[in-house]
Amino acid sequence: MRHSVLKHWLRPGLVLVASLALVVVGCGKEGGGTGPAADYTLSLAPAALTIVQGATGNTTVTITRTNFSGAVTLSLGGAPTGVTGSFSPSAPTGTTSALTVSVAAAVAPGVYNLTVAGTGGPGNRSTPLTLTVSPAPDYALSLAPATLTIVQGANGTTAVTITRTNFTGAVTLGLGSAPSGVTGSFDPAAPTGTSVTLTVSVAAAVAPGVYNLTVDGTGTPGNRSTPLTLTVSAAPDYTLSLAPAALTIIQGTTGTTTVTIARTNFTGAVTLSLGSAPTGVTGAFDPAAPTGTSSALTVSVGAAVAPGVYNLTVAGSGSPGNRSTPLSLTVSAAPDYALSLAPAALTIGQGATGTSTVTITRTNFTGAVTLSLGSAPAGVTGSFNPAAPTGTSSALTVSVGAAVAPGVYNLTVAGSASPGNRSTPLTLTVSATPDYALSLAPAALTIVQGATGTTTVTITRTNFTGAVTLSLGSAPTGVTGAFDPAAPTGTSSALTVSVGAAVAPGVYNLTVAGSGTPGNRSTPLSLTVSATPDYALSLAPAALTIGQGATGTSTVTITRTNFTGAVTLSLGSAPAGVTGSFDPAAPSGTSSTLTVSVGAAVAPGVYNLTVAGSGSPGNRSTPLTLTVSAAPDYSLSLAPVALTIERGATGTATVTITRTNFTGAVTLSLGSAPAGVTGSFNPAAPTGTSSTLTVSVGAAVAPGVYNLTVDGVGSPGSRSTPLTLTVSAVGDYTLSLTPAELTVEQGATGTATVTITRTNFTGAVSLSLSNAPTGVTGSFDPAAPTGTSSTLTVHVGAAVAPGVYNLTVDGTGTPGNRSTPLTLTVSAAPNYALSLSPAALTIGQGANGSTTVTITRTNFSGAVTLSLGNAPTGVTGSFDPATPTGTSSTLTVGVGAAVAPGVYNLTVNGTATAGNRSTPLTLTVSATPDYALSLSPAALTIVQGMTGTTTVTITRTNFTGAVTLSLGSAPSGVTGSFNPAAPTGTSSTLTVSVGAAVAPGVY
pTM confidence score:
0.30
Average pLDDT over residues 124-138: 91
Position 631 scores a pLDDT of 62
Indicate whether 905 and 818 sit together in one domain.
Answer: no
Do 901 and 845 contact (CB within 8 A), yes or no?
yes
Indicate whether 319 and 249 sit together in one domain.
Answer: yes
| Confidence band, pLDDT 50/70/90 cuts, at residue 36 | low
Cα 565 to Cα 588: distance, rounded to the nearest angstrom: 6
CA distances from 430 to 355, 402, 649 (A): 14, 10, 116
Whether 8 has a pLDDT exceeding 70, the answer reads no
Position 728 scores a pLDDT of 83
What's the per-residue H, E or C state across 407-445?
EEEEEEEEEEECCEEEEEEEEEEEECCCEEEEEEECCEE
Listed residues 281, 314, 332: the one ending a domain: 332
Listed residues 499, 530, 561: the one ending a domain: 530
Indicate whether 125 and 151 sit together in one domain.
Answer: no
Do 534 and 449 contact (CB within 8 A), yes or no?
no
What is the DSSP code string of 921-938?
Answer: EEEEEEPPPEEEEEEESS
Position 485 scores a pLDDT of 97
Indicate whether 803 and 844 sit together in one domain.
Answer: no
Cα 635 to Cα 312: distance, rounded to the nearest angstrom: 118
Position 976 scores a pLDDT of 92
Q: Closest Cα partner for 959 from 989, 933, 927?
A: 927
Whether 522 has a pLDDT exceeding 90, the answer reads yes
Indicate whether 936 and 1003 sit together in one domain.
Answer: yes
Exposure of 673 in the CB half-sphere (CA atoms within 13 A): 17
CA distances from 815 to 260, 598, 769, 791 (A): 111, 63, 19, 22
Do 789 and 780 contact (CB within 8 A), yes or no?
no
| Confidence band, pLDDT 50/70/90 cuts, at residue 32 | very low
pLDDT by residue (tens digit) across 532-554?
A: 888 999 999 999 998 777 899 99
Position 254 scores a pLDDT of 95
Position 59 scores a pLDDT of 98
Q: Percent of the chain beyond pLDDT 70?
A: 96
Indicate whether 166 and 147 sit together in one domain.
Answer: yes
Average pLDDT over residues 771-780: 96
Mean pLDDT of the chain: 91
> Which residues have C-beta within 8 Å of that of residue 387, sequence separation ≥ 6?
370, 371, 394
Whether 756 has a pLDDT exceeding 90, the answer reads yes
Listed residues 431, 459, 480: the one ending a domain: 431
Indicate whether 112 and 186 sit together in one domain.
Answer: no
CB atoms closer than 10 angstroms to residue 305: 19
Position 9 scores a pLDDT of 27
Cα 720 to Cα 635: distance, rounded to the nearest angstrom: 8
pLDDT by residue (tens digit) across 60-73?
A: 999 999 999 999 99
Cα 896 to Cα 876: distance, rounded to the nearest angstrom: 8
Cα 927 to Cα 924: distance, rounded to the nearest angstrom: 10
Position 1002 scores a pLDDT of 86
Cα 630 to Cα 659: distance, rounded to the nearest angstrom: 11
Q: Closest Cα partner for 261 from 286, 292, 289?
A: 292
Q: Which range (16-25, 865-874, 933-942) has the least confidence? A: 16-25
pLDDT by residue (tens digit) across 663-718?
A: 999 999 999 999 999 999 999 999 999 999 999 999 889 889 999 999 999 988 89
Whether 351 has a pLDDT exceeding 90, the answer reads no
Indicate whether 123 and 186 sit together in one domain.
Answer: no
Position 692 scores a pLDDT of 98
Position 959 scores a pLDDT of 82
Position 284 scores a pLDDT of 97
Sign of CA dihedral 802, 804, 806, 808: positive
Do 711 and 668 contact (CB within 8 A), yes or no?
yes
pLDDT by residue (tens digit) across 467-485?
A: 999 999 999 999 999 999 9
Looking at the structure of the chain, the number of domains it has is: 10
pLDDT by residue (tens digit) across 611-659?
A: 999 998 899 999 999 998 876 689 999 999 999 988 888 999 999 999 9
Cα 252 to Cα 262: distance, rounded to the nearest angstrom: 32
Do 275 and 315 contact (CB within 8 A), yes or no?
yes
Position 373 scores a pLDDT of 97
Strand-pairing partners, residue 997, are none
Position 257 scores a pLDDT of 98
Q: Which domain holds residue 579?
A: 535-629
Indicate whether 981 and 999 sit together in one domain.
Answer: yes
Whether 847 has a pLDDT exceeding 50, the answer reads yes
Average pLDDT over residues 404-421: 93
Indicate whether 586 and 496 sit together in one domain.
Answer: no
Please report, for the domain that includes residue 869, its CATH number: 2.60.40.10
Q: Percent of the chain beyond pLDDT 90?
A: 75
Indicate whether 476 and 495 sit together in one domain.
Answer: yes
Do 92 and 11 contact (CB within 8 A), yes or no?
no
Position 21 scores a pLDDT of 44
Indicate whether 844 and 814 sit together in one domain.
Answer: no
